[in-house]
Structure 1
Amino acid sequence: MITFTSYISLAKKYRPTKFTELFAQGALTKILSYAIQHNRLAQSYLLTGIRGVGKTSSARIIAKTINCTAQMVEQEQVVPCGRCQNCQGFLNNTHPDIIEIDAASRTSVDDIREIINSSEYKPLLAKYKVFIIDEVHMLSKSAFSALLKILEEPPTHVIFIFATTEVQKIPLTIISRCQRYDLRRFTFNEIQQLLQQIIKQENLHLSQEAVNTIAHLAEGSARDAITILDQAANLVDGKQLQSIDAAMINQMLGLVTTHSVIKILQKILLHDLGGALELVECLYNKSMDLEKLIASISDLIAYCCKHKMLKNYSSPLYESYQQDITNILTDVSLSQLTIMWQIFNNGLQDIRSAHNLLITTEMLIIKAIYAQTLPKAEDLISQEGLPRR
């Protein structure tokens, strides 16, 4: 008889549950730990930042920690015991005094009035009744107006924690009544470190280039990185020791390999229109996303510009192709690179509204090659007798 067990995603499995597990948000954990230990809690907090940096997780950690009846200190940070009635109720999602609301689906003034009415009653089990409102920027104008009143004079037993990715949409009158914490974007190295920890614990096998690729694609979001890793883990049988490489990641996500992007750029610089179009058509026939191809070419050209200006500049994403990039930079000027970057970067808008993606991509290639035939800005400056930078 076949038995089925529910699968827990890596993003959920490795979601932080206490301040010591909250990765790369040292300012937030230090300040709030001090506030909790010394009973200096505010009654409304606003957590902002891009997707996947820990806003909702931080809100839950705050709610759990302030209501724990047996708080402990680990690594100079206060943490919940995990055993008391409040902690157990939180873990089982049955705690009556911690209410989590998704403002994306509950945006009306009636929803806020329901919160206001509930806040008048004292907590049943915990010290504080905590309202966590996720994506708070989605509330309607009338809902914000209703919320403002209770934020001005909140009951002493109530704490509001708001989380948002678009703080600019929140009225300043609301923001001014909150303690605001901006959760920062994760660095490339921090994403790498987080991935390596999970890879080790899950006994996965990824090449360093594959890890670099995932870290680059995450764009500073820990959750995005872990989600891609979770998807990649399905590429091989867990019992095998086969390593997942960058090519497998690219194929899984419909991306173009860095090798292919470099080849196309080389063809453009050699004025080899036929070879460049042949490579693009080959990728198109393999169902590669041409918008992502244009974005990858734009990113590569931007890297070449920085590398040309800063001799010691490097990126882990291109570390396996340094010799190819050095050869590219030998015969191209900075002005040519910046013009090509503008062509492909602006081309992203063109391709998103194009009726034919392949033709639009081919025209961008033609435009880039034509731009290489124009006089170099550096030569024009020399002809005018102006000093060259």
Structure 2
Amino acid sequence: MSDSELPEERDDQTFSMFGEDEAPKSDAYQVLARKYRPRRFEDLIGQEAMVRTLSNAFETGRVAHAFMLTGVRGVGKTTTARLLARALNYQSDDHDGPSIRLDPKGEHCDAIMSSRHPDVLELDAASRTGVADMRDLLDGARYAPVSARHKVYIIDEVHMLSTAAFNALLKTLEEPPPHVKFIFATTEIRKVPITVLSRCQRFDLKRLDAVELAKHLGRVAKNEGAMVSEEGLALIARAAEGSVRDGLSILDQAIVQTMDGEEVTGAAVRDMLGLGDRARLLDAFEQAISGKAAEALAEVKDQVHAGADPAVILKDLMDVCADVSVAQATGGDFQSAGPAEWTERTLAMAQKLTAAQAARYWQILLSGFNDLQTAPDTATALNMIILRLSAAANLPSPEEAARMIAEKGASPGKSEQHGMAPSPAGGLESFAEIVAYLGELREVNLQVELERYVRPGPVRYGYFSCQLEDSAPGDVLARLKGFLERESGEDWVVEQIRTGAETMRQTEIRTREEKFASAAEHPAVADALKSIPGITIVDVTEPADAPEQDGADGDNVIDLNSRRTA
């Protein structure tokens, strides 16, 4: 919907715009998520494409016999299903036929919206998943509707039906009686069999972006006579993650944070939701990408000490990083869901960074988010992620590194001569270089796993192939890909192939055994092994710049160990 003001109250309803069709039967408080539930198609927010399609279908008479509504929680699937049932059965004094316009209310509207119409049957598939339930429901499909034009079956969370129940439903979907319509709703569209999905007209209900949802919540708050700050509305909209119902529920909770008409501030919403201060999170991110590790750590630690959840702080930092990338792509068209200051600061950071740098920071945060899920102390893990961001700020940008390589000025020696940290770009061109670089950065776990479980295939900058040992951790390649992309700022292709190569550990063991076998053939060593009980070869090393000696030129240095047994 557009950003127009809420309509004035009408004589035939108690609430405006999104009000229920019937006045409440008592003075009991009604939560905002129910009070502002859409009662007309015009009231649906952000679903214009679906409304337009239905309007054209009704006007041309090309009405499907089954509809599939999908989307995240709280975007209005169940409400839309009831509106669609009303539209299919709309009948008023001046109109008798399917209609997208539901004003004035039709003969069946009140009963359908209150879920008490005999011809509109609602089934929650989460609680009735069996084939027997489905057969009972469909048994009445062959009978004509009692009073409405169509018998409508609304099945919520349809993906939870059993395979047998889907099969029972399929026969009716293939050859439906002309008076029967099906409306399905699901949050897991991929779990619906394609045989069912292909027989439905599908509508993907969009989640609202934070800016649009914040504006809607502001209109609702104004209609309720509540004052909520712009920052507070933005925080609620972000927390709702595109769900109108979640946003209204959080707004309901926020309004009671203050008394006597006081404004609900951003601080009150942050305290209520355990969020970090958005302005200070912008500070922390800006300090981190500027290499100011101590200042960034102090900002984050203060917010954790004030009660913010480290996982939420990290997610908000990811939002900041994503906003920076979007601002780089859209320029002056970028608008943050919040005060104008947030937009200005995000645009300023976008101008300071290159696109590849922003992508590198995103990879660091994304990898850190995965680490945070398994870390024993989330606050400590968050600190380490901030330090990673700060360390990356001191590396040349991927674009600069590429230029240095082109000019043959990116060798570690030259970088160190100029006081720069050596960049991995251009140096990650072989398996050995990648393993060595992991060692330099003390990524010990990943380094050991590559040495032990990976049989390398062709490797070049931006491409890595290998064959994994059966005992390899399942996520080793995913973590390697994240590391390579984080450090290089480029996309990498990491894939498995069949190769006859050995792992580094296997090569090390084989080489050691060959050295031992060769050393054991030396006459002096062979005599010692035979004459001294329990003696073994424990090491064979090459002499480094040893002076030439008669009879010893080119010989290995062999360490022998004698063991006594009782």
Deviation at 1:144, TM superposition (A): 0.7
Residue of structure 1 in register with 2:256 after alignment: 234
Assess if the C-alpha contact under 8 Å between 1:65 and 1:71 holds in 2: no
Residue of structure 2 in register with 1:352 after alignment: 373
Residue of structure 2 in register with 1:298 after alignment: 318
Assess if the C-alpha contact under 8 Å between 1:28 and 1:181 holds in 2: yes
1 CA distance for matches of 2:93 and 2:189? 32
Residue of structure 2 in register with 1:82 after alignment: 105
2:267 corresponds to 1:254 = no
Assess if the C-alpha contact under 8 Å between 1:30 and 1:77 holds in 2: no
Find the partner of 1:213 among 212, 235, 256. 235
Structure 1 residue runs of 5 or longer lacking an equivalent are none
Deviation at 1:99, TM superposition (A): 1.0
Residue of structure 2 in register with 1:158 after alignment: 180
Structure 2 residue runs of 5 or longer lacking an equivalent are 1-25, 408-566
Assess if the C-alpha contact under 8 Å between 1:277 and 1:362 holds in 2: yes
AA in 1 matched with 2:242: G
Measured at CA, do residues 71 and 340 of structure 1 come closer, stay the same or move farther in structure 2, by a change above 3 Å? farther
Assess if the C-alpha contact under 8 Å between 2:281 and 2:300 holds in 1: no
| Bigger radius of gyration | 2
Measured at CA, do residues 201 and 263 of structure 1 come closer, stay the same or move farther in structure 2, by a change above 3 Å? same
Residue of structure 1 in register with 2:131 after alignment: 109
TM (normalized to structure 2)?
0.61
Aligned length: 379
Measured at CA, do residues 142 and 287 of structure 1 come closer, stay the same or move farther in structure 2, by a change above 3 Å? same
Residue of structure 2 in register with 1:62 after alignment: 84
Percent sequence identity is 35
Identify which of structures 1 and 2 has the higher relative contact order when contacts are C-alpha pairs closer than 8 Å and 6+ apart. 1
Q: How does 1:1-389 map to 2 (within 5 A)?
A: 5-36=27-58, 39-70=61-92, 77-79=100-102, 81-82=104-105, 84=107, 86-237=108-259, 239-240=260-261, 242-308=262-328, 310-317=330-337, 319-321=340-342, 324-325=345-346, 328=349, 333-385=354-406
Assess if the C-alpha contact under 8 Å between 2:289 and 2:392 holds in 1: no
Residue of structure 1 in register with 2:4 after alignment: none
Q: Secondary structure at the match of 2:214?
A: helix
Q: Secondary structure at the match of 1:317?
A: coil
More helix by share: 1
1 CA distance for matches of 2:186 and 2:93? 28
Deviation at 1:267, TM superposition (A): 3.4
Deviation at 1:13, TM superposition (A): 0.7
2 CA distance for matches of 1:47 and 1:365? 41
Assess if the C-alpha contact under 8 Å between 1:20 and 1:79 holds in 2: no
Please list the CA deviations of residues 207-259 of structure 1 after superposition, one character each: whole Å capped at 9, or x if unmatched: 2222233333333322222222222111112x42x222222222211111112
More displaced 10-residue stretch of structure 1: 6-15 or 212-221: 212-221
AA in 2 matched with 1:274: A
Please list the CA deviations of residues 134-179 of structure 1 after superposition, one character each: whole Å capped at 9, or x if unmatched: 1111111111111101111222222111011221211111112112
2 CA distance for matches of 1:35 and 1:254? 46
Please list the CA deviations of residues 189-214 of structure 1 after superposition, one character each: whole Å capped at 9, or x if unmatched: 43234223212211111222222333
Deviation at 1:353, TM superposition (A): 1.8
Please list the CA deviations of residues 307-341 of structure 1 after superposition, one character each: whole Å capped at 9, or x if unmatched: 34554253223631456556656765554433222
Deviation at 1:100, TM superposition (A): 0.8
